[in-house]
Structure 1
Amino acid sequence: MKTTKKYTLLSIILLMATGFSSCKKLLEVNPQSQITEQVYFKSEGDFQPYVTGNYTSIRAFANSITYGTERSEELINGTNSRLTTVWSQILSPTVGALNYNGQYRAIGNCNLLLNKIDQFSFSSEALKNRLKAETLCQRAYTYFYLVRIIGDTPLMLEAITDDTVPLLPRAKATEVMKQVFADLDLAISLFPEKTYLSKYRFSFGAAQALKAEAKLWSAKVLAGGATDFNDALTAAAAVEASGVSLLPNFKDVTTTRANAEVIMSAYYNRDENGANYGLNALPFLTAISNASNLDSIAYALTSVNGQGGYQISKESRSLFSGLVNDKRVPSTFIIERQGTTQKSAWITKLPGTKYADDRISDNDVIMFRLADIFMIEAEAYAGLNNSAQAITYLNKVRNRAGIGNYAGGTDKTALERAIFDERGREFFFENKRWYDIVRFHFGGTINAYTYVPNLRGKTVPLFWPLSTTVLAANANLVQTPGY
């Protein structure tokens, strides 16, 4: 069964863009159509569009708040409820479970390119190395994405070039992370430049940022301890030296494309790929038409372009309590007023762009930025009981926000809680909070089951279940513990 011969390179890239909806699942059943060497990779010119096409998957992962945000304390329902059962912490193999089709499709694409590229001569060895490095980063990012969602996950490293798909068991998260770090280390060595040719593709700096973030997770969640904390600091230092800088004005961070603070973003443009997840937070006019401060609220004219489905929670708002000079507040949320009554708290983090016909949520989705690197360094130093250095990096973020130097306790418990709270202010609605909660839970700073309102009184695991569809197709898989 070789249906792949029907496809051209363009059609496969378009297939990527639609999420591979017509393909069956890798690691589950034999695929109906495979990307093989019979169709691709006849010359060096075939590799670059293939790598570019795989960024469609990376962008989709970055744009989903299901896993990075919904289970946290950040959001409540707006006027047009968009939150799912995941937000309610209602998870089972049939409700809210992970079907990892898209993730393993992306991994399979990476495996095939890595399997084939060394067979070809390139007119530019630098280009060849860069494409290999980007692909290694794509694979590492996707595996890290899975580890944070389900923990143990199948480790597929071989290219699938026929109809035989291995039914792999779940590998230990520690084993998968070893591969993540191996991929990133090789990628870092292959990038021919340490500058940023594009903020929308993986680069030397983005690879180091991903490594720093992954090492921090490994240090706390996988008990890697001091070794991983130190590795995170080494990677973060490399990012600092890569030519990025903190913007002076916080409001420009999410509204100015590819700015100096950004290390890597997922690109959004209304004419190319529509709206980002901010669409669900942007209110629509009829829902707020009675607001006395309407002119101060970013809104869409219709519910097509603004769903009004999410609002900032009182828990996230409370993180700003007492910080009257915090410059981040206007670019985080705004209180809708009706006369003297405070009604709703709308999210302003991703306000989109106001066009002649309507406002569109087309801000880039930031994956890595320098402020996050500073906070990773603060957290890693705190983990190493180096409070002085932790506070130095914490203050870099606080001072840009206008709230001054940290003056709280310097013991590890107090400092780590301050870092956790600061991350809640700085990175609100940037698809990081649930991962923060899990990391700080395992690190002992918080108890997720008492911190997150919808987790109180529940015993649902912090990792997701696998869907029954996935389990039924692969007898070698076991369910996530607790489901």
Structure 2
Amino acid sequence: MKKIIILSICGCLLSSCSLDLQPENGLTYSNSFNTEKELNATTTSILYYVNTVVGSNYVLSTAGMKADEVLDAKQLREWNPRTVVSSEYSWKGLYDLIFEANLLLDNIDKTKDLSTNRRNYHVGQAEFALGLSYFLLAQRYGEAIITENSTEIKPYSLSPQSDVLNTAIEHAKKALEILPTWDKLTDLNGAAITDRQTASKGTAAALLAQVYAWKGSVTELYKLQGNAKDDYQKSIDYATLLIEGKVGTYRLCSSPEELCTYLSNEKTPNPEAIFSLLFDKTRSEFVVSPNEVAQNFVSWPVREDQTLADLPSSSTYQLHTSTVESLFPDATDQRLQAFFYQWGTSHEVDGTDYALMYKFRKAIMDADQYSASGKTYRTVDADYVYWRLADIYLLRAECYQKLGNEANAIADLNVIRSRAGALSYPSTYDTEGLKKAIFLEREKEFVGENDARYADIIRNGYVKEELQGKFKLLSNQDIQGGALFLPLPKDAWQDKDGHIINNQLRQKPYWQAYN
């Protein structure tokens, strides 16, 4: 029981005292780590938390979403400070994941008869989880707590964003060094692991490419200590490992239509997917896909409980046909036909012509005797492909452009355009330069699919161009004061009853007046 008491106290200092960390598979923290089976219980917990917390990013995702209509989120989209502060967000899940990873690293030496390969597998999952957690904390909160291990009991203070990012890099490099490529991953019983959620060498390389691209950008934006050009080059280096197949074999789908087929079939690993969050339908009868974005874009006809007339209120996010036409001025782009249902056919309701997202074509419908259709929409039936190869090509293009290597940036950009059957850069539609063309290509490629757009906007300095409301009014002082990050969550320093549990923390300057 002593270990459980330590966990609760330590957890209180990191997030909230109302801790319910037991995954749904019934694992506890009293295992002894004597055997690999016992060790694997903690590895399974790490994978559980990766699955359940990484995709939870509604506030920033909604603020940056390419959408014309967002149900019940107008003030959030306007970045109304009091709305943002009162929104439901927390970093507790990420610190639960950090605790699990540290727990494994602190105890793995107790495991007997563990081969080097099996040790590397388990340590690699923990190191990747730590790297990913600290990266997401830096992206979403800027400053964050860096914990020492799973047992140190003390109030932690915030560390600067640069330190949080360096910590993410340190762990991701360790994962890259010891993990095998995805095709060589095996489980406790020696069976091949075919999913793309379990960390591999390629997953770690993708994380490093993302972290360095972000680090270079915020070093410039926030005038942090460091060398942005070096960071961009390192992002390019890790992206190149993926593109050249040196850390695992990945390939672009042959067409947008093939991509959508894979996105809508979670049983078949997407050859383009590098890191995915699995949709485990067996977990419970109420479980939903980890992909909140896809789930919130799905409407008629994928939803069988609705008709065309229901469109104005059928989903959280909606796009108008005019917006999609503006985003895809090149009518030869095959993504128009693949990503949107019956593109070219009017879907007008109350004077508005809607573009219907069709990347994800399967939904889970539950029986509902009170519904007119006899069914209720629960979720999209799909994994969350968090990073795929097209992302890496366009991220590398972005970094090449920032380093002034336009030839290589254009080459990467045109790989993705060629796959879509679109006009090569430069075309008559490319009127805003290469940097904006790469940004817009990411919009086209990932529309309705992931939560990356807000981070894309921040990395490229397009806050006042691409966001709305108070974003357009932010001063440099506001930005330096943390206005583009989430406020420090309340459960970071107080428990559910409002008692202070960490007096070392201070709210970001921009958000202090609204706290």
TM-score scaled by length of structure 1: 0.82
Residues 129 and 122 of structure 1, relative CA distance in 2, 3 Å threshold: farther
Q: Within 5 Å, which residues of 2 pair with 1:52-71? A: 52-67=44-59, 69-71=61-63
Please say if residues 51 and 134 of structure 1, whose CA atoms lie closer than 8 Å, have aligned partners that are also in contact. yes
Query: 1:217 aligned to 2:228?
Result: no
Work out which of the residue numbers 220, 227, 232 in structure 2 matches 1:229: 232
- Identify which of 372, 386, 391 aligns with 2:410: 391
The offset of 1:126, in angstroms, is: 0.7
Question: Which residue identity is paired with 1:27?
Answer: L
CA change 1:349–1:458 in 2 (3 A) is: farther
Q: Compared with structure 1, are the counterparts of its residues 339 and 482 closer, same or farther at alpha carbon in structure 2 (3 Å cutoff)?
A: closer
- Percent identity of equivalent pairs: 21
The alpha-carbon distance between structure 1 residues 451 and 33, as it changes in their structure 2 partners (threshold 3 A), is closer
CA deviation string 1:430-457 (max 9, x = no partner): 111001011111xxxx3x1232133455
- Please say which of residues 353-362 and 386-395 is displaced more in the overlay: 353-362
Kindly provide the amino acid, as one letter, of the partner of residue 302 in structure 2.
Answer: A
Structure 2 CA distance for partners of 1:32 and 1:298, relative to 1, 3 Å: closer
Verify: 1:366 aligned to 2:378, yes or no: no
Task: Return the letter of the residue paired with 2:132.
Answer: Y
Give the 3-state SS of the residue equivalent to 1:312 in structure 2.
Answer: strand
- The answer on whether the counterparts of 1:229 and 1:384 sit within 8 Å (CA) in structure 2 is yes
Deviation at 1:399, TM superposition (A): 0.7
What code does the residue aligned with 2:319 have?
Answer: I
Match of 2:484, as an amino acid? L
Of 466, 469, 475, 2:488 maps to 466
Q: CA RMSD in A?
A: 3.4
Residues 1:301 and 2:305 are matched in the alignment: yes
Structure 2 CA distance for partners of 1:325 and 1:246, relative to 1, 3 Å? same
Please show how residues 95-174 of structure 1 align to structure 2 within 5 Å: 95-96=86-87, 98-160=89-151, 165-174=153-162
Deviation digits for residues 218-261 of structure 1 (CA, Å, limit 9, x no counterpart)? 11112441111111111111112121000012133222432111
1:134-161 per-position Cα deviation (integer Å, ceiling 9, x unaligned): 110011111111100110111113112x
* Alignment of 1:452 onto 2:452: no
| Distance in 1 of aligned mates of 2:127 and 2:407 | 36
C-alpha distance in 1, partners of 2:502/2:349? Answer: 59
Task: Give 1:316 shift.
Answer: 5.4
| Distance in 1, Cα, partners of 2:97 & 2:162 | 21
User: Equivalents in 1 of 2:484, 2:321: separation in Å?
Assistant: 22
What is the rounded CA distance, in whole Å, between the counterparts of 2:272 and 2:454 in structure 1? 23
SS for the counterpart of 1:347 is: coil
For the residues of structure 1 that align with 2:199 and 2:451, how far apart are their CA atoms? 19
Secondary structure of the structure 1 residue equivalent to 2:256:
coil
Q: Retained in 1: the 8 A contact 2:393–2:412? A: yes
Note if 1:344 corresponds to 2:354.
yes
Q: Given that residues 68 and 434 in structure 1 are in contact (C-alpha distance below 8 angstroms), is that contact kept between their aligned partners in structure 2?
A: yes
The corresponding residue for 2:271 is: 260
Inter-partner Cα distance in structure 2 for 1:192 and 1:308? 41
Change (3 A) 1:180 1:313: farther
The change in CA–CA distance for 1:27 and 1:395 in structure 2 (over 3 A counts) is same
What are the equivalent positions in structure 2 for 1:285-434 lying under 5 Å apart? Answer: 297-301=301-305, 308-312=315-319, 317-334=324-341, 337-338=347-348, 342-353=352-363, 360-407=379-426, 414-429=433-448, 430-434=450-454
Q: Name the structure 1 match of 2:4.
A: 4
Over 3 Å counting, the alpha-carbon distance change for 1:94 and 1:432 in structure 2 is closer
The CA deviation string for residues 157-176 of structure 1, in whole angstroms up to 9 with x for no partner, is 3112xxx6321111011111
2:507 to 475, 479, 482: 479
Match of 2:224 in 1: none
What is the CA distance between 1:26 and its match in structure 2?
4.4
Tell me if structure 1 keeps the 8 A contact 2:197–2:277.
yes
Decide whether the 8 Å contact of 2:320 with 2:352 is kept in 1.
no
Q: 1:26 to 1:413 in 2, by over 3 A?
A: farther
- On the 8 A contact 1:385/1:412 being kept in 2, the answer is no
In the TM superposition, residue 384 of structure 1 has moved relative to its aligned partner by 1.1
Q: Distance in 2 between matches of 1:455 and 1:133?
A: 42
Alpha-carbon distance change, 131 to 412 in structure 1, aligned in 2, over 3 angstroms:
farther
Hey, what's the Cα distance between the residues in 2 that align with 1:171 and 1:315?
A: 45
- Provide structure 2 residue ranges, at least 5 long, that are not aligned to the other structure: 23-27, 186-193, 221-226, 308-312, 368-374, 494-499
Tell me the CA shift for residue 29 of structure 1: 5.9
Question: Residue 8 of structure 1 corresponds to which residue in structure 2?
Answer: none
Task: State the shift of 1:186 in Å.
Answer: 1.0
- Once the two structures are TM-superposed, the CA of residue 77 in structure 1 deviates from its matched residue by 3.3
Aligned to 2:199: 202
Mark the CA change 1:186 to 1:408 in structure 2 (over 3 Å): closer, same or farther.
same
* Structure 1 residues 1-51: Cα deviation after superposition (integer angstroms, max 9, x where no partner): 74839xxxxxx9xxxxxxx9xx96442566768898743423221122321
The secondary structure found in structure 2 opposite 1:75 is coil
Secondary structure of 2:118's match?
helix
> Contact 2:328–2:336 at 8 Å: present in 1 too?
no
Against the structure 1 CA distance between its residues 106 and 340, is the aligned structure 2 distance closer, same or farther, given a 3 Å change threshold? closer
1:87 aligns with 2:64: no
Q: Deviations over 1:171-193 (max 9, x none)?
A: 01111111111111111111144
**Structure 1 counterpart of 2:165:** 177
Q: Could you tell me which amino acid in structure 1 is paired with residue 120 of structure 2?
A: N
Letter in 2 for 1:480: K
Q: 1:110 to 1:353 in 2, by over 3 A?
A: same
1:76–1:312 Cα contact (<8 Å) kept: yes
Alignment CA distance shift 1:345-1:465 (3 Å): same
Which is further off, 41-50 or 86-95? 86-95
State the AA in 2 paired with 1:124: S
CA contact (8 A) 2:54 2:94 kept: no
